[in-house]
């Protein structure tokens, strides 16, 4: 499916290694990695994924984006030979492409079972929510290739779990299970393998129930203040709170609360 309009780039006629499914009634878009059996992500695919995230960000039909895969593995990582063939200019853009879920103003869920290695893990780390199962294995195996993670993997992971655990994962190319990832705070939730799709649906529906304006504001605030001193973060939070108080969604939320009814948020 390709009926998106991107404000700055021409979308390809066909997607390379993934598919896109938009359900306007459920206000949901699914980006599905689909290069069996291991869903290897090549260089061109990274560019396309970035463009699709940017297009979905301005698509009024979509409230929540899900990144998932076909088959038993999310992704075994990138196309190794592609790194040898790519130009330095192209390689320098890899982190920007992988960060597309973070820049997207809408909530992005990564739902992964099986292998989630290399750039697959880095893409997941760039999402807002990570749902895993006991079969999920996270890893950054670049040390085995004489390399290091190059698309934000080690940096994002260190923010989540600290330097000691990040060194253990990166410098030893250690694999961590979905259960351990949830215990460490890398994954949002670990659910039984057969319940991954149900848990994803439930999270999508939950996120859709909130004000889209408040969701975008919260995501940007949290991203922007991740490295800020506490005083600056509190100051920015106050400004965002103040702006939201003049929104129609805030008025609707207050009125619905007092009327004991479900709010009808419009994102204004």
Q: Which residues are catalytic?
A: 122, 142
CA distances from 40 to 17, 28, 148, 182, 192 (A): 8, 25, 18, 24, 25
Question: Residue 233's closest CA among 247, 223, 248?
Answer: 223
Q: How far apart are CA 177 and CA 196, in angstroms?
A: 15
Q: Widest CA span of the chain, in angstroms? A: 62
Q: How far apart are CA 139 and CA 152, in angstroms?
A: 13
Contact assessment for residue 119 and residue 41, using Cβ atoms and an 8 Å cutoff = yes
Residue with structure tokens 């694999």? 175
Q: How far apart are CA 223 and CA 35, in angstroms?
A: 31
Q: How far apart are CA 94 and CA 89, in angstroms?
A: 9
3-state secondary structure of 69: strand
Contact assessment for residue 211 and residue 265, using Cβ atoms and an 8 Å cutoff = yes
> How much of the chain is helix, strand and coil, in % rounded to 5?
50, 15, 35
Q: How far apart are CA 12 and CA 18, in angstroms?
A: 12
């Amino acid at each position: 499916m390709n009926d998106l309009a991107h404000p700055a780039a021409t979308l390809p006629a066909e997607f390379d290694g993934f598919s896109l499914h938009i359900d306007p009634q459920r206000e949901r878009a699914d980006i599905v990695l689909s290069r069996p059996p291991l869903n290897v992500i090549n260089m061109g695919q990274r560019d396309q994924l970035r463009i699709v995230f940017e297009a979905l960000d301005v698509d009024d039909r979509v409230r929540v984006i899900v990144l998932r895969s076909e088959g038993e593995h999310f992704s075994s990582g990138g196309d190794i030979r592609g790194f040898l063939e790519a130009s330095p200019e192209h390689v320098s853009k890899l982190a920007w492409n992988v960060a597309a879920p973070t820049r997207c103003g809408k909530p992005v869920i990564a739902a992964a079972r099986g292998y989630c290695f290399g750039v697959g893990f880095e893409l997941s780390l760039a999402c807002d929510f990570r749902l895993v199962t006991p079969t999920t294995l996270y890893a950054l195996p670049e040390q085995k290739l004489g390399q290091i993670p190059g698309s934000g993997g080690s940096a994002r992971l260190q923010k989540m779990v600290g330097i000691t655990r990040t060194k253990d994962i990166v410098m030893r190319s250690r694999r961590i299970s979905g259960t351990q990832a949830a215990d460490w705070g890398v994954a949002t939730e670990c659910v039984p393998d057969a319940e991954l799709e149900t848990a994803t649906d439930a999270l999508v529906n939950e996120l859709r129930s909130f004000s889209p304006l408040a969701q975008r504001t919260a995501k940007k605030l949290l991203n922007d203040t991740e490295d800020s001193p506490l005083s600056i973060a509190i100051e920015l939070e106050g400004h965002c709170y103040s702006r939201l108080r003049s929104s129609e969604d805030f008025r609707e939320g207050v009125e619905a609360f007092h009327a004991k009814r479900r709010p009808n948020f419009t994102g204004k």
